[in-house]
Amino acid sequence: MTTLGPSLTITGDITSQEDMTVHGTVKGTLTMQQGALVIAPSGKAEANVQGALITVHGTASGDLTASTRLELMDTAHVSGTITASTLVLREGAVFNGIVDMSAKKAAAGKPKLVEPAQKAS
């Protein structure tokens, strides 16, 4: 597990193969190839973030893409575009932006057409 401390600011591209917790600031791109990402209450991501499991307690601005699950906790402040198959917004979370869950719709298959019931004569 990698932990970025509260006094640390990283500008650029980060790629991780393991769980990561951000207590500091990340500016740029954060790609989680494996493992979960947690943005702690003191953490700030001014970045485009990609990963399977993303949990935000702190602040995030940019595009957040989670292939499995994205969770905004009660202390989260997020702005940008969220793309996720599963999205959880806890009471108290602040979100301003766009949510795209079309990946979930595609995985479920095409919608089935339901014929209206015919009236009995």
Q: Work out the percent of the chain whose per-residue pLDDT is above 90.
A: 79
pTM, 2 dp: 0.81
Q: What confidence score (pLDDT) does residue 102 get?
A: 81
Q: Work out the percent of the chain whose per-residue pLDDT is above 70.
A: 84
CA angle, 102 as apex, 16 and 55 as ends, to 5°?
Answer: 35
Residue 110 makes CB contacts below 8 A (sequence gap 6+) with: none
Over residues 70-98, the pLDDT tens digits come to 999 999 999 999 999 999 999 999 999 99
On the question of pLDDT at 61 being above 90, the answer is: yes
Give mean pLDDT, residues 98-120. 57
Tokens 């989670």 map to which residue? Answer: 66
CA-nearest of 27, 26, 38 to 75 is: 38
Q: How far apart are the first and last CA of the chain?
A: 69
Query: What tokens appear for 56 in the block?
Result: 């935000």
Query: What tokens appear for 41 in the block?
Result: 């209450």
